[in-house]
Amino acid sequence: MKPTIFLSLFFALIFTGQVLAQDHCKTEAPYFKMNNTDASIDDLPLKSTDVKVDITSTIADVTIYQTYENKGTKTLEATYVFPMSAQAAVYNMEMRIGERLLVADIQEKGQAREAYEQAISEGKTASLLEQERPNVFQMSVGNILPGDVIIITLKYTEYVLPEEGIYSFVFPTVVGPRYNNPTNNAQAARSQFAATPYMKSEESTPAQFSLTASLSSSVPIADIQSKTHQLEFTNTSSKFIEFDLKPGSAISNNRDFILEYSLRGKQIENGIQLYDHGDEKFFMAMVQPPKTIAPEEIPPREYIFLVDVSGSMNGFPIEVTKVLMRNLITNLKPDDRFNVVLFESSAKVLANESLTASEANINKAVQFFNQARGGGGTRMIHGLKTALNLPRHSEALSRSVIVVTDGYVTVEKEAMDLIKSRLDEMNVFAFGIGSSVNRYLIEGLAKVGQGLPFIITNKKEAAPIADRFRKYIQTPVLSNISVDYKGLDVYDLNYEKFPDLLSERPLVITGKYRGDAKGQIVVKGYSGKRRITQKIKIDEAQLSDDHNAIRYLWAREKIGLLDDYDNYQNNDESAKAAVTSLGLKYNLMTAYTSFVAIEKIVRRVDDQEVVSVKQALPLPEGVSEYAVGADFDLSGVFEAASPLAWTKFLWLIPFLMIGLFAYFKFKS
């Protein structure tokens, strides 16, 4: 009897928790699509996504055609969650109904949603594009009448910049299942896109996917390939290539499309694009490094390791950090210099100035770090200032600051602002150590420091990630860069100070200018141990309407600097106002602006029913069905459920009381 009572109590609690979990998650978690038994409802109205990509050297212009068709007999409102690049500048949306073409307006997000909902209630067909995350968007199309075919066209542009000499263009095709456990109503409201239906792993969405692309370059194209999809080339030459996805190949919309290409060239290439929009003039200058660097051209570097040894790093994080630091320091080149700053409540410095990477100094550094145990507070700003204020051994040495931390601080913006104010003195690379680091800080430091973020979750990852970091950082082409604008009146630069130019990536300079397009941009720096100068001449011939993308890219970069890492972390009304203003002025999607298109004609009569459907997505390739939904966790349920939610389950109390009475009766 006793085991039976315990089992009864256990299953009653589990049942209660499961129902609560279902009630909580039904609007905030991914779920599997149920088979539709109502033939009058077309619950998969997205029939196709067709993509056209035009890449010119380092800028991609992308057009997406989403075709919605209602084959049922009831009027629909369709919701579709889809991804785009986090760097995409989305600048245009159109809606075509039959022969009628409507160009969407950019509006403040709340106003756009209100206008869309009013139009739906009035029987007008409308579409609304909203940004849920910098790389996740939601399309709503309302009042799709039976028999309607509606085509939504989206346009965006983005940079395609090289890493390790390889240019990589990525077109994401599907948003993966997102586990969501909001702790307040505001977070829940911002995360409703997670409530997306998915097909089972053995099923595929009937929505078709196609992609055509062209690549043109002023430099001969050395190689082009896709490791994710099979390509069929339709036109090829040394500087221009066209291709489609090969027909009849495997499902193509359940994984990102990744195109990789490389260009020939052995010298640093310079270039500039100019665009006059009438009210403003824009420029984009690029200093492109060669694919390979001769060993004698690689200058020695100065590394400042800023390492968090606070209480939160105690145990596993500090042990992983020790493995990482040993790999980083013991593999320095003999002519490199380095220093180490350990910070917690205070900051300790290995030496008053950077040391040569001799065996004795490396052993000294390893011993210095091995004494760290993890304790005290996390005064990151004090640690950063200590590291940045260390004297430079030589202006010819390019300096890199490597921050190693779990990021458990609340001074993210202060840290990023400090880095931005000193950007001309260094690169910043950030290593996040731990199973759940503060990625907002780690990625933000690397973003504003024009470095890379690295996340290490276990000891096995430390050595290979250290190797990757060394390969990346030990190939600078230009260090201690300065930029002068001679004869060109520039303003509103996205960056006024510049980090080292590495062989992995180009230096991109964007801003606005006044007056005539004349003069030159002079970039100075050290290549190896010698001082060199690169001059980019400017004339009216470089001014073209074909360069209009740089206006959007300038604004998108400005929005990213203001908002990408703050969007879900704080309530900075001034930043929101600035981002909203940029979105409205430059016709760009942001977290606070949306595109809305409304048909003026009333197409639905009042007595017609409107059925809301969510477009089901395919599971991303290689993702288990266990990703849809979460493992059962009572603590999460208890946190998430509101007090009123428990009132739905008062009927269980008598059964629990009976079980408890029987238990104590048996025990006595």
Q: Which fold has domain 267-295+478-584?
A: Immunoglobulin-like (2.60.40)
What's the CATH superfamily of 299-474?
von Willebrand factor, type A domain (3.40.50.410)
User: What's the pLDDT at 69?
Assistant: 95
Q: What is the pLDDT of residues 452-484, one digit of tens each?
A: 888 887 788 888 888 878 777 666 677 788 899
User: What's the pLDDT at 466?
Assistant: 83
Domain at 31-261+586-614: CATH code: 2.60.40
Which of 114, 94, 89, 117 has its CA nearest to residue 104?
A: 94
User: What's the pLDDT at 11?
Assistant: 46
User: What's the pLDDT at 17?
Assistant: 43
pTM of this structure? 0.71
User: What's the pLDDT at 284?
Assistant: 93
| Fold match between domain 31-261+586-614 and domain 299-474 | no
Q: What is the pLDDT of residues 485-497, one digit of tens each?
A: 999 999 999 888 8
User: What's the pLDDT at 337?
Assistant: 92
Distances (CA, A) of 217 to 214, 231, 261, 284: 10, 19, 11, 16
User: What's the pLDDT at 517?
Assistant: 92
User: What's the pLDDT at 31?
Assistant: 79
The Cα–Cα gap between 391 and 387 comes to 9
Q: Which amino acid is residue 178, in one-letter code?
A: R
Query: In which residue are the tokens 């250290």 written?
Result: 466
User: What's the pLDDT at 379?
Assistant: 84
User: What's the pLDDT at 65?
Assistant: 97
Q: Can you list the residues of the chain whose pLDDT is less than 70?
A: 1-28, 163-164, 177-191, 249-250, 265-270, 289-298, 374-377, 435-436, 473-476, 502-504, 528, 564-572, 606, 622-624, 626-627, 629-668
User: What's the pLDDT at 314?
Assistant: 77
Beta strands in 12-135 (DSSP E): 31-32, 46-56, 59-69, 75-83, 89-97, 100-103, 105-108, 124-133
Q: What is the pLDDT of residues 232-291, one digit of tens each?
A: 999 999 899 999 998 875 678 888 888 989 887 644 556 889 999 999 999 999 887 655
User: What's the pLDDT at 295?
Assistant: 63
User: What's the pLDDT at 267?
Assistant: 47
Q: Within 10 A of 333 (CB to CB), how many other CB atoms are there? A: 12
Q: Per-domain residue ranges for the chain?
A: 2-27+633-667, 31-261+586-614, 267-295+478-584, 299-474
Instruction: Give kind and range of the element (H or E) at residue 360.
Output: helix 359-370
User: What's the pLDDT at 589?
Assistant: 96
User: What's the pLDDT at 114?
Assistant: 97
